[in-house]
Amino acid sequence: MWQKTRPYLLLLPAIGTIVLLFFGGLFDGLLKSLGYFPAIGETRFEMTAYTNLFQSSEFWESLILTIRVAALSSIFAAVLGAAIAVSLFMLKESSKSGASQVWHRLFQLPLTIPHLVGGYIIVLLFMQSGFLSKILASAGLIDEITDFPVLVNDPFGWGIILTYAWKEAPFVSLMIYPVLSRIHRSWRDVARVYGAGSWNFIREIVLPVMLPAWTIATFIVFVFTFSAFEVPFLLGVTYPSMLPVYSYQLYTSGTLADRPEALAVNIILAALTILLGLVVYYFSKRWNVLKGWD
Amino acid sequence: MSDLRIINIEKQYPQTKQQKDPAFSLQPVALTIKEGEFFSLLGPSGCGKTTLLKLIAGLIPADNGEIWVGDDHLTAVAPEARRFAMVFQQSLLFPHMTVEDNVAFGLKMQKISKRERLADAQSMLEHVGLGGYGSRFPDELSGGQQQRVALARALVAKPRLLLMDEPFSALDPSLREEMRELLRSVQKEFHVTVLFVTHDREEAFYLSDRIGVMSEGRLLQIGKPKEIYEQPVNVEVASFLGLKNIIRGTVANNHFISNDQSFEFPIQSSIQTSQSVLIIRPETIRPVSENMVEILGCVYFKGVIHHKIFSHGYYSVKVRIGEHLLICNFTSQEAEKMNPEQPIDLMINSEDMRFVNG
């Protein structure tokens, strides 16, 4: 009996912490979003916060902006990350020198930089009085630095998208690259003998191999950018703001009455993330992406 | 005619810092393989067989020389445009594709419609005895079945040349025999030109119309299996073919005398003085019975039986003659009463003796 329960008892402190902090927090948020707020004397359950949110244009604009920014960031990071991983893989296949290792390390550099610093780098590079606009103005490509497009603190969210694309692409490549190492060195020879050029080899062999890891990495990036706070707070505009910023604005508005709405935003974010996870899982099963590998 | 012509192709690998031995080089090879022929490159590991195969496939660039198929000059043509096929030591099937898709891969690259290529793939799978396996994945097949799929993948594209790099070496003996039979029959059926690389003598002799024996980057001899076995051009070829009765000596005044003088007999005047190594095939040596009449053109020796071993339906008997241990293959009937340390008289038809340069 003791032997059987021992592993579970040993795991209890870690599991307890996770349940308390993660699920406890989520559960507390859910209760408060439903109006259960004993601190202000509210002990009934009602959907007012959700109804108010769904009726507010501010929420919908925030949601659209959040989806747009998360989707574009994920797509850019996924494409860029895959391009980096495939290039590194092809470089490693074709060269016997250590050049591919140097490039590999170089592409991993953004991983070591915190998101906030990444955000500041984008500000310094892409704002109208930034480095890039000054270079373009000095080169005579634009007349004034104000001719440079507004890419930072813009309503579309380009600054946020650029930051995440730059910051998450190495993460995507880091997820894909080890998977590519499963590709047998001789498969390239096989494919070539049977008429596949480089592009066909990538399309027929490399892409299917990396698809599961690529899908998962892109999903992680999407979920992260969907619920990330600091970069949208730094590089976004006051209105419309991304959902996490909108939630923060509501939470810190000065009135406790807004808090259920702020927490309802968080619950909606979590629900959408779970929903998206299920969709990705369904498609990855349907595409049969893992069949034959194990 | 779409004969494959290899004209003085050569390859020198660069010397690496780690290696103390000199870098490998493939000496110029000149070879013509006829359309529909089964040609084997036979040689020990590391002799350059696979290098030559990859040079022909275009997977490694040649330093010099030319490759032609019929009137097409292919030396500078990329491997994907040569319309060759290749079967490797391992099946190297793509694990994320079904068996059917693996077989149809070459046809897909040739932009054949999906319906047509899948029909061709299914038909080829029937030919290799795997009808009904099309929808499986490679990891659901045994090693032998995977290699059959690899063969089907190679044949379905109707290649101008099928290159095979020791395709059965990873299989167990019974499967190897099965695969040999299969390869032999499909090669005849599809009349495909095959260049087969192996270090297995039995395999090469069983399958080939002609064999090229290689050693240390050189192509030593080309000929029909019987020709190279009975008339090896030098000691290296004879040794690789498993001929152990190699006796060094001198040829002078139409006589051969072995270095230890235990063999001395007259030889044909056509044999040159420079050819001073005698090679005797074990199955050409016969024991002399008491009442046997001496036959003209035969050479007779006396020896002592060292030991006898039963092997695959015959006896391999070692007979000591001077410093040499001569290996003889005798039938069970011939070897029945032979015992170690017993004296024995042997005879060999002089036409079965092979003299080569030392």
pLDDT at position A241: 86
Q: Say if residues A191 and A173 touch (Cβ distance below 8 Å).
A: no
At residue B69's C-alpha, the angle toward residues B33 and B147, to 5°, is 65
d(CA B160, CA B219): 23
For chains A and B, count residue pairs whose Cβ atoms are closer than 8 Å: 69
- Give the closest of A195, A291, A294 to B106, CB-based: A195
pLDDT at position B18: 61
Percentage helix, strand, coil, to 5, in chain A?
Answer: 75, 0, 20
Residues whose CB falls within 8 Å of the CB of residue B319, separated by 6 or more in sequence, listed in order: B303, B304, B305, B306, B325, B326, B328, B344, B346
Q: In what helix (H) or strand (E) does residue B317 lie, and over which residues does it extend? A: strand B314-321
Both tokens assigned to A238: 């006051």
pLDDT band at B246 (very low <50, low <70, confident <90, very high): very high
Partner-chain contact B94 A195, CB within 8 Å: no
pLDDT at position A41: 78
**Residue in A188, A193, A201, A294 to test binding to B, most B beta-carbons within 10 Å:** A193
Partner-chain contact A184 B106, CB within 8 Å: no
Residues whose CB falls within 8 Å of the CB of residue B293, separated by 6 or more in sequence, listed in order: none
Q: Is A291 on the interface with B (CB under 8 A)?
A: yes
Taking contacts as CB-CB distances below 8 angstroms, the residues of chain B near A186 are: 88, 90, 92
- pLDDT tens track for B24-80: 888 888 899 999 999 999 999 888 999 999 999 999 999 999 999 999 999 999 999
Q: What is the DSSP string of B202-219?
A: HHHHHH-SEEEEEETTEE
Partner-chain contact B139 A292, CB within 8 Å: yes
8-state DSSP, A205: I
Q: Check whether B312 has a pLDDT greater than 70.
A: yes
**Residue in B56, B74, B109 to test binding to A, most A beta-carbons within 10 Å:** B109
Residues 171-190 of A with CB under 8 A from B: 184, 186-187, 189-190
Residue type for A132, please? L
Other C-beta atoms lying within 10 Å of the C-beta of residue A13: 9
Mean pLDDT for all residues in chain B: 90
Residues whose CB falls within 8 Å of the CB of residue A215, separated by 6 or more in sequence, listed in order: A280, A283, A284, A289
At residue B198's C-alpha, the angle toward residues B192 and B201, to 5°, is 110
pLDDT band at B149 (very low <50, low <70, confident <90, very high): very high
pLDDT at position B86: 94
Least confident of B107-121, B197-211, B334-348: B334-348
Taking contacts as CB-CB distances below 8 angstroms, the residues of chain B near A192 are: 58-59, 78-80
Least confident of A126-135, A173-182, B10-19, B112-121: B10-19
Residues 86-125 of B with CB under 8 A from A: 86, 88, 90, 92, 94-98, 105-106, 108-110
Taking contacts as CB-CB distances below 8 angstroms, the residues of chain B near A205 are: 94
pLDDT band at B81 (very low <50, low <70, confident <90, very high): very high
Q: Is A155 on the interface with B (CB under 8 A)?
A: no
Taking contacts as CB-CB distances below 8 angstroms, the residues of chain A near B97 are: 292
Taking contacts as CB-CB distances below 8 angstroms, the residues of chain B near A214 are: none
Q: Say if residues B12 and B63 touch (Cβ distance below 8 Å).
A: yes
Please give the C-alpha separations between residue B21 and each of B17, B24, B68, B252, B309, in angstroms, as whole numbers: 10, 9, 34, 40, 40
Taking contacts as CB-CB distances below 8 angstroms, the residues of chain A near B133 are: none
pLDDT at position B21: 66
pLDDT at position A220: 87
- Give the closest of B54, B92, B110 to A184, CB-based: B92
pLDDT at position B63: 92
pLDDT band at B17 (very low <50, low <70, confident <90, very high): low
User: How many Å lie between the alpha carbon of A203 and the closest alpha carbon of chain B?
Assistant: 11
Domain at B4-236: CATH code? 3.40.50.300
Q: What is the pTM of this model?
A: 0.77
* Residue ranges, CATH 2.40.50.140, chain B: 243-356
User: How many Å lie between the alpha carbon of A177 and the closest alpha carbon of chain B?
Assistant: 18
pLDDT at position B335: 86
Taking contacts as CB-CB distances below 8 angstroms, the residues of chain B near A208 are: 96
Average pLDDT for residues B303-332, to the nearest whole number?
91
- ipTM of this complex: 0.83
* Residue ranges, CATH 3.40.50.300, chain B: 4-236
Average pLDDT for residues B301-330, to the nearest whole number?
91
Other C-beta atoms lying within 10 Å of the C-beta of residue A235: 28
- Give the closest of A194, A289, A293 to B157, CB-based: A194
- Long-range contacts of the stretch A88-97 (C-beta < 8 A, 24+): A88/A173, A88/A177, A89/A177, A89/A180, A89/A181, A89/A183, A89/A206, A90/A198, A93/A185, A93/A188
- pLDDT tens track for A229-239: 888 888 877 77
Q: Say if residues B276 and B250 touch (Cβ distance below 8 Å).
A: yes
Domain B243-356 class in CATH: mainly beta
Q: Say if residues B316 and B308 touch (Cβ distance below 8 Å).
A: yes
Taking contacts as CB-CB distances below 8 angstroms, the residues of chain B near A189 are: 54, 57, 59, 79, 86, 88
Domain A57-286 class in CATH: mainly alpha
Both tokens assigned to B113: 């419609």
pLDDT at position A292: 53
Residues whose CB falls within 8 Å of the CB of residue B263, separated by 6 or more in sequence, listed in order: B247, B249, B256, B257, B278, B301, B321, B322, B324
Taking contacts as CB-CB distances below 8 angstroms, the residues of chain A near B87 are: none
Q: In what helix (H) or strand (E) does residue B30 lie, and over which residues does it extend? A: strand B25-33
Both tokens assigned to B154: 């190679």
pLDDT at position B20: 64
pLDDT at position B275: 67
Question: How many CA atoms are closer than 13 Å to the CA of B229, on its beta-carbon side?
Answer: 15
User: How many Å lie between the alpha carbon of A202 and the closest alpha carbon of chain B?
Assistant: 13
- Locate the domains of chain A by residue range: 57-286
Which residue ranges in chain A fall short of pLDDT 50? none
Please give the C-alpha separations between residue B191 and each of A136, B70, B155, B185, B224, in angstroms, as whole numbers: 67, 16, 10, 10, 18
**Residue in A190, A198, A290, A291 to test binding to B, most B beta-carbons within 10 Å:** A190
Closest chain A residue to B84 measured between Cα atoms?
Answer: A193
